[in-house]
Amino acid sequence: ESQGKMNWGFLENVLSGVNKYSTVIGRIWLSVVFLFRILVYVAAAEQVWKDEQKDFVCNTQQPGCENACFDHFFPISQVRLWALQLIMVSTPSLLVALHVAYREHREAKHKRKLYQDKGSIDGGLFCTYTISLVFKISFEV
C-alpha cells in the first residue's frame, strides 16, 4: 500500500532547503510564474489543441496523405511546444534545488558544517545558480 503513495517529504525537504537561498520576492515570483504556466498549459493548451489532427481533411484519398499534409502544414504541435518550454524553463531551477539538497546531504553525512553560511551562495552553488540563470534566459528568449 505504501508503494502506491508518493513521498512528498523528500520534495518538501528539497524546497525548504532552496528557500534558505531565496528572497521572498524570488519565491513569490517563481511560484506565480510556474503556477501560471501550469494553468495555461492545463486549462488552455490542452483544451484548444487537444486533438489537432481529428478534423483535418486531405483533398486526396491517397494512403498516408493526411499525415503528410498535416505534418507539412503544422510541423510543430503547440501542446508539445508548451510542454517542452515548461520543462526547459523548470529544469535549471530543479538543478539548483538538487545542488542544495546535495550540500545538505553532504553536511548531514559528515555530521559537521562544511559550508560557511547556509544563506549565502558561494562556490559550486554560485556556479550552478549562474548556469541556471543563463539557461533560463536563453530558453525564455
CATH number at residue 93: 1.20.1440.80
Q: What is the pLDDT of residue 27?
A: 73
The b/e string for 21-46 (b: 16+ C-beta within 10 A; e otherwise) is: bbeeeeeeeeeeeeeebeeeeeeebe
Residue 66 counted as domain residue:
no
pLDDT, residue 14, reads 61
* Domain assignment present for 60: no
Task: Note the pTM of the prediction, 2 decimals.
Answer: 0.58
Q: What is the pLDDT of residues 88-110, one digit of tens each?
A: 888 887 888 787 778 777 777 87
* Residues in the chain with pLDDT values less than 50: 1-2
Tell me: the pLDDT tens digits for 110-119? 777 666 655 5
Q: What is the residue range of 88's domain?
A: 2-50+77-140
Domain count, the chain: 1
Establish if 12 belongs to a structural domain.
Answer: yes
pLDDT at position 1 is 45
Task: Tell me if 81 sits within 8 A of 139, measured CB to CB.
Answer: no
